[in-house]
Structure 1
Amino acid sequence: MSSTARLSTIVRTPDGRALHIYGLRRTGAGVTSTGEPTQAAAKTHAVPSGSASLRPLVVLESGLGVSGRFWGPVQRALAASTEALVLAYDRAGHGRSDPDPAPRTLQRLADDLETVVHVVPHDRLLLVGHSWGGPIVRTLAARLAARGAPPAGVVLVDPADENCDLYFARSTRASGVLQDLLYMPLALTGLLQPLGRAILEGLPSADRDAAARASSTLAAARATIAENRMFTREMRGLLSSPPDLGEAPVTIISGTSTSQFDDRMRRLLNEAHRLSAQSLPRGHVVEADRSGHMVPITEPQLVVREIRALLDA
């Protein structure tokens, strides 16, 4: 028999900020536990290879304004069916993670993600990002590739994609400004939490409640605003200089289900995903026919399947 063990710890970024990470790993059936990550382990950047005690590491990156608790169903299914240690975390300002006073550029966000990646030694790394998490994951993957240590695979789940022109439309920018104006009042009045629960409808109640709580505080609202304010600029940067992922295999899961409210956005985003995959040496698109944007909620097993395909390659 085998079971899963939970991990929960605070790690420190190079500038001393706390990041709360939580993960699952399979134990039993001859699989050796990796043990609890420590703050000291977060400083380990050189990962030895060839050791029987090492296992693959999968790190899950969430979208804008969403706690890593959002990944609950994917995290549990993946940990139960593979030997990988599966980590998620709360970005700066969410949950128990400290706020970040610095501008939340993609490079800064990738710095925090890299801290999480180096929590424990591992023999292979897979990076998974949903929505805004996609550009964050790509930024770190390109950084690692430039060092000669690319990830073993990247899975982008309905990612924000710079090839989608609608992101740069005046109406979209105006919508972002309106969101920034509303976020703090919603947090102050306590309405952000039920709104978050509504957006995450379909998650198991424990995951939904935990994610909504972690992302509805005043600190979380400020963090979301800070990231949102950088969104258009950072996406333009990707458009002018796309991250070079080298030969890393990249799977883009693209939701294809539409509603009367997002038909044009969905069509343009699907086209952008196909264009991005074609530009990558080892990129391909997998369509999520029963999903719109929230694929990890509506089709978690599809996400797990595609991650496992790269783990097994």
Structure 2
Amino acid sequence: MSAFGIAGQTTVRDGRKLHHVTLGEGEPLVVFEAGGTGSRTTWGLVQGKVAERTATLSYDRAGFGRSEPDPGPRTLDRIVDDLSDLIDSVSTGPCLLVGHSLGGPISRSYARRRPDRVVGLVLVDQTAEDCGFYYSKAFQHVGTLSHWIFTTPMARMGLLGAMARRTLYRNFPEPMLREIRQEKFSPAALHAHRSETRHLAAGLDAMRTLQDEHALPDIPVTLISARRSSRGMWSELAVSHQRLAAALPTANIPGPKKAVTWYRWNNRKSSSPPSSISSPDSPHSPSKKNLNSRAPGVKSLTDRPGARKCRV
């Protein structure tokens, strides 16, 4: 049982079990991929909205939530292996992937590996391989120190969970909050996060070597980017999102101060122009209440003219 949906387990190729939840019926299957938190709880306020129109799936990556830990290195390829096994076990039809932060590269990697399965992508404030700070030793050292000095002690004292409930999850119903309290900042989840972070730079670096024309299949792509500070890594990430939006064909690019959400129609066979919506107060975390308004964006992508397999 889960407050987030109909609970199930999938056994991946090496025998580990991944926990997942499903809601809704129809096609395409909308698959939600979390960011660094790695679990289904990220999408608690969004999945149910999208499930009003089509089938949905969210899950806990290895070591997070109710999924078993992975004894091997959590490389990007290994994470995508798990995702591929999961999707194959749940559905044989088309799927649309929604990836937040680290979930962006995971979703794009799956789409590149399985173009026969993916009919659309929604990238929510995604991690971007063309941002140099991910490869700097300073960035990696700061992350390690922060984990040992701040994150782990705060989690053990229960303070991190209390802070998250008052900020990221403050609008979640109590049944969901009970599961978040039990799972979100467990020792296994912190270990899994460390392992994924340790191999992040290598995975992103491998993605940088791809030529643009091979980076994504010819499918609809939605890019959502949070408003950023004008300095530092957040600014660099926002510029990266703009570059990706500009690189997609038939794209009308709004001015950087006018909107922070772009819909991009990445289908050369369609004459339908992309739509755009504005989300000026968008936070990085999709757990915030205002991302609840993003669910219509996912549904809009499935209904877009020319997206034959995407229509629901």
Distance 1:294 1:191 in 2: 19
**Helix, strand or coil at the partner of 2:7:** strand
Structure 2 distance, partners of 1:107, 1:59, is 18
Residue-pair matches, total: 274
Residue number among 100, 108, 112 corresponding to 1:138 in the alignment: 108
Q: Distance in 2 between matches of 1:61 and 1:174?
A: 26
**Partners of 1:66 and 1:150 in 2: CA distance:** 22
- SS of 1:22's partner is strand
Shift in alpha-carbon separation, 1:143–1:186, aligned structure 2, 3 A? same
Q: Does 2:192 align with 1:223?
A: yes
Letter in structure 2 aligned against 1:111: D
Shift of 1:113: 1.1
CA drift of 1:85 comes to 1.0
1:129 CA drift (Å): 0.5
State TM-score, norm by structure 1.
0.78
SS class of match (2:72)? coil
CA-CA distance at 1:289 after TM superposition? 1.0
How far does residue 86 in structure 1 lie from its aligned partner after superposition? 0.8
| TM-score, normalised by the number of residues in structure 2 | 0.79
Runs in 1 of length 4+ with deviation above 6 angstroms? none
Alignment partners' CA distance in 1, 2:250 and 2:91: 26
For 1:41-61, what per-residue CA distance to the aligned partner results, in whole angstroms no more than 9, with x for missing partners? xxxxxxxxxxxxx63201101
How do 1:1-313 and structure 2 match up within 5 A?
6-25=5-24, 55-80=27-52, 82=53, 84-145=54-115, 149-182=116-149, 183-198=151-166, 200-206=168-174, 207-241=176-210, 244-256=215-227, 258=229, 263-281=231-249, 286=262, 287-313=278-304
Amino acid of the structure 1 residue aligned with 2:69: P
Partner amino acid for 2:139? T
In the alignment, the residues of structure 2 paired with residue 196 and residue 190 of structure 1 have an alpha-carbon distance, to the nearest angstrom, of 10
Unaligned runs of 5+ in 2: 254-260, 263-277, 305-312
After superposition, the Cα gap between the structure-2 partners of 1:280 and 1:12, relative to the gap in structure 1 and judged at 3 Å, is: same
Q: Which runs of 5+ in 1 are unaligned?
A: 27-53
Deviates more, 1:65-74 or 1:176-185: 176-185
List per-residue Cα deviations over 1:56-86 (Å, max 9, x = no partner). 2011010112421120111011112x1x111
In 2, Cα distance between equivalents of 1:220 and 1:296: 17
C-alpha deviation, 1:205, in angstroms = 4.2
Q: Is the 8 A contact 1:157 1:253 kept in 2?
A: yes
Partner Cα separation in structure 2 for residue 96 and residue 130 of structure 1: 20
* Identical-residue share of aligned pairs (%): 33
